[in-house]
Structures are given as structure tokens and as C-alpha cells.
Amino acid sequence: MKVQHTLHVSRREKTGTRYARRERAAGKLPAVLYGHGKESVSLSLDHKEALKFFHSGERVFDIEVQDESVSQTVMLKDIQFDYLGTNPVHVDLTRVDMNEEVDASVELRFVGQAVGMKETGAVFSHPSSALHIRAAVKDLPDHIDVNITDLEAHHPIYASDVTLPEGIVLLTDARTTVAVVTIKAEQATETTEAEDVEGAPAQPEVITEKKEEAEDKEG
Amino acid sequence: MPRMPKRVKFRKEMRRGRDRKATKGNYVAFGDYGLQALEGVWLTARQIEAGRIAAQHFLKRRGKIYIRVFPDKPVSKKPLEQRMGKGKADVDYWAARVKPGTMLFEIAGVSEEDAKQTFARIAMKMPVRCRFVGRRLTV
């Protein structure tokens, strides 16, 4: 985490679906601030500004609530999305100290071209796109780089293989696969329309009907 | 081969409403890019298969396709010129319930440009408007 930006926020006096919708229509993003045993506060962020920071991987901010001169350090805790799954409709912010240890998910970025990708039918996939870590707020990285240049086919990189910056503890299971190069089997890929004629069951097996037949036999 | 369940509890099913929006299965979970439905529909097994074949013909052996919907809903249909009544008709086809926002296909291991071209071909086979999406923010 290099530079800590300031989020411009204002208090939301009226809460609820109707008022939250009006906020969004006005280019704002409804949010809630809680933590450290203090009362939760309903806030409103600038939608464009907030998304610009979130997309760059930033999680920790300073906020200045309007009509309050005190600045607070907050961390992004959760984002709620709409039904399309990409547009944020609400965010959770939590109060933090810079030296406090927190659990967070950090995005992985894959660097380089894997050696295994030179083989025919090689497919690079990354089952995990983020790692769950524990670190002091001041040490939280925006992202973690994973070097995949030496990645060979069928030799996955596990979470434990990822080099973490100092002061960061891995919480994700060490045996979680982070990146892997697989070679596609020829037979599995070459399925064509001709296959569906042969050996296709017309209807699936009905479980409940079988039970009834068995009961009849017993009776 | 069009997909269908191997085993079911009941042979036929009621039609049920389809006016809700997706609350799950609406983000890219496995691949890098996805094709998202913007309208609701009963997507037939044949349509899903047509999409898969269109993608595979374009990609050859590159990348990996994930099909995020499964046709587990039996849809019955009476024969032509059949009078009403006389019980529920036989199953005509299997369909996947797709709500607005449902992720239909995902792709991994190809460039964004290739993914866009692949999904454009799949979208031609889909009976609904679709859009191309990437992975969303992780927190």
C-alpha cells in the first residue's frame, strides 16, 4: 500500500430502499461505516471516485465526514452488487488502526508467460484469483504478484508457493491451487454432433417410480 | 449430445413463474470472462449444445469453456391437433431456467479478444440478449 487516498463522504440522514435508490440516481454510492465498538453511520460516497480506487485494488482510505473535522482510517469490508453482478449498490466500511491486524482478500496478478503453454493444447487456468491473508493494515498490499514463468504443465502453483511480502500471514489453505497449466485430452475435446445419435438415453431414470415398484414387490 | 439429468425424482414438472432476477450464478466464478444473459428464458438443451459447438469450432483446442447452466427442467408439450385434457403430455425437451443476470458460459486460457469473438458466436445461438463480462471486484 503506497498512497492512502481520501474518500469524500457525506452522512445519509434518511435510510432505506427508496432513499438509497435516489442516492444512486444522483451518482452516489450508499455505504455504512462500523467497527471499534462505536455506532454505525450511514454514509454516501461518490460513485465514480470510489470505484476508481476499488478497481485499482485499494482497500484502506482516509475519510472525512462532512460537518466533522476528525479524519478516520477505514477499510473496505464488503461490496454488494446488483443482479448483474458487476455494478456495486452498497459498500461496507470498517474503522481500523494502521497497526491493527486484519484479515483481507488480496487479488493475485500473474506475471510472465508459463513454459508449459508452449505445448499443444495447453490451457492456463487460475482456480483462485485472490488469497486470504492476515496483516497489519499498513502492510496490506493492493495485489500480490505471482511469477508463472517456470510453470510447467500439470505442476500447479499452490498457495504455499506464492511469495508473500514481509509481515503477511497466509490464511488460505496452503494446498489450494493458485495456477495450473493443463493439457487438453484430444478425445475429450473432439465431441461432435454425430455422437448424439448413438447410445443416448431417451429419458432419465425416475427415482420415485423405482421405489413404488419395489414396494409393490414387497407387498 | 444435448444434456439432461441422469436421474430425476419426478418425470414431469409444473411450469412455474420466471419473472425474477438472478441472485446467484450471476458472476464469473471459474474462467476469466463470461457471457451473461440479460433476459429470462427457458434455455433448451439444444440451444446450450449449439452454443458449445459454436465455441469449440472457433477455439479449436485453445482455452477451456465452462457451461454454467444445466437443463434440469422437463417441459411437456401436447402433439399437434390434440384436444385439451386427457392428462399432462409427454416431456418434449429439457430446459435450463435462465433469469436476467445468469452467467451462461465462461472461458479461461484465451485472450480477451478471442473470448469476445467466441462469445459473439455463442450469443448468435442464444434466444436472449447477452453481454460480455470479466471478473468482478474481489474484497
Burial annotation B90-128 (CB, 10 A radius, 16+ → b, else e): ebebbbbbbbbbbbbbbbbbbeeebbeebbeebbebbeb
Cβ atoms A121, B61 nearer than 8 A: yes
Q: In Å, what is the CA distance from B94 to each residue of A19, B25, B98, B133? A: 43, 20, 13, 27
pLDDT tens string A182-197: 887 765 444 554 444 4
Residue A62's H or E segment, with its range, is strand A60-65
How close is the nearest chain A Cα to the Cα of B25, in Å? 9
Whether residues A85 and B138 touch (CB distance < 8 A) is answered with no
As a whole number, the mean pLDDT across chain B is 92
How high is the pLDDT of residue A139?
87
Residue to test with chain B: of A61, A80, A84, most B Cβ within 10 A? A84
Helix (H, G, I), strand (E, B) or coil at A15: coil
pLDDT tens string B33-85: 999 999 999 999 999 999 999 999 999 878 889 999 999 999 999 999 999 99
Question: Residue A199's pLDDT band (boundaries 50, 70, 90)?
Answer: low
Question: Residue A69's pLDDT band (boundaries 50, 70, 90)?
Answer: low
Q: Domain A1-96 belongs to what architecture? A: Beta Barrel (2.40)
Pick from A188-197, B91-100, B109-118: least confident: A188-197
Pick from A116-120, A194-198, B90-94, B123-127: least confident: A194-198
In this complex, which of B9, B26, B64 lies closest to A84 when CB atoms are compared? B26
Whether residues A192 and B30 touch (CB distance < 8 A) is answered with no
Q: What percent of chain A has pLDDT over 90?
A: 34
How high is the pLDDT of residue A219?
56
Q: Domains (ranges, CATH) in chain B? A: 33-76+92-134 (3.90.1170.10)
How close is the nearest chain A Cα to the Cα of B54, in Å? 11
Question: Residue A91's pLDDT band (boundaries 50, 70, 90)?
Answer: very high
- B67 interface with A at CB cutoff 8 Å: no
CA distance B34 to B136: 11
Domain ranges for chain A: 1-96, 98-187
- A187 interface with B at CB cutoff 8 Å: no
Q: Give burial (CB, 10 Å; 0-12/13-18/19+) of B74.
A: buried
CA distance B9 to B29: 29
Query: Model ipTM?
Result: 0.80
Section B130-134 average pLDDT: 95
Cβ atoms B79, B129 nearer than 8 A: no
Predicted structure pTM score: 0.84
Q: Tell me which chain A residue has its CA closest to the CA of residue B23.
A: A83
Interface of B with A in 78-117 (CB under 8 A): 91, 99-101, 103, 108-109
How high is the pLDDT of residue A186?
62
How high is the pLDDT of residue B97?
94
How high is the pLDDT of residue B54?
95
- B1 interface with A at CB cutoff 8 Å: yes
How high is the pLDDT of residue A89?
94
How high is the pLDDT of residue A121?
79
Section B102-119 average pLDDT: 94
Domain A98-187 sits in CATH 1.10.10.60: no
How high is the pLDDT of residue A55?
87
Section A157-168 average pLDDT: 90
- B2 interface with A at CB cutoff 8 Å: yes
CA distance A114 to A123: 10
Whether residues A83 and B26 touch (CB distance < 8 A) is answered with yes
How high is the pLDDT of residue A194?
46
Partners of residue A76 in chain B, C-beta under 8 Å:
139
State the count of interchain CB pairs (< 8 A) between A and B. Answer: 92
Q: Which region, left, alpha or beta, applies to residue A125 given φ > 0 means left and ψ of -120 to 50 means alpha? A: beta
Q: Where are the beta strands (DSSP E) in chain B?
A: 7-8, 33-37, 41-44, 64-67, 73-76, 91-98, 103-108, 130-134
CA distance A136 to A54: 19
Q: What percent of chain A has pLDDT over 70?
A: 85
Partners of residue A127 in chain B, C-beta under 8 Å:
30
pLDDT tens string A56-68: 888 899 888 766 6
CA distance A17 to A27: 16
